Amino acid sequence: MAWQIEFDPSARSELEKLDKSVSDRILRFLSERIAMLDGPRSIGQRLQGALREFWRFRVGDHRLICSLKDDRLVVIAVRTGHRRDVYRA
């Protein structure tokens, strides 16, 4: 069972602003690790508080904040960025 990866427009913009090597690493992580899993929650961590509906995935010093849609098997990247910045509004 493969998951489809989608990007929120703001997450796509954030990804394009990152260094090419970092963005390639993130895209490779999504396609090779997340998309191939039966359940991406096994390698992610649920956020707490107001962001409880989202999941966090670590890629080195960068984080992906994603929404998981089980009914369509879709992972929607909502935010991407360095760990010191990605949780700020």
For residue 73, the domain's CATH number is: 3.30.2310.20
The token pair that represents 4 in the structure block: 């489809």
Answer left, alpha or beta for residue 62, where phi above 0 means left and psi between -120 and 50 means alpha: beta
Kindly report whether the global pTM for this prediction surpasses the value 0.75: yes
Summarised one tens digit per residue, pLDDT across range 6-29 is 999 999 999 999 999 999 999 999
Residue 42 lies in a domain: yes
Residue 32, domain extent: 4-82
Summarised one tens digit per residue, pLDDT across range 32-73 is 999 998 889 999 999 999 889 999 999 999 999 999 999 889
Q: How many domains does the chain have?
A: 1
Nearest Cα to 16, choosing from 35, 85, 7, 88? 7
Residue 75 lies in a domain: yes
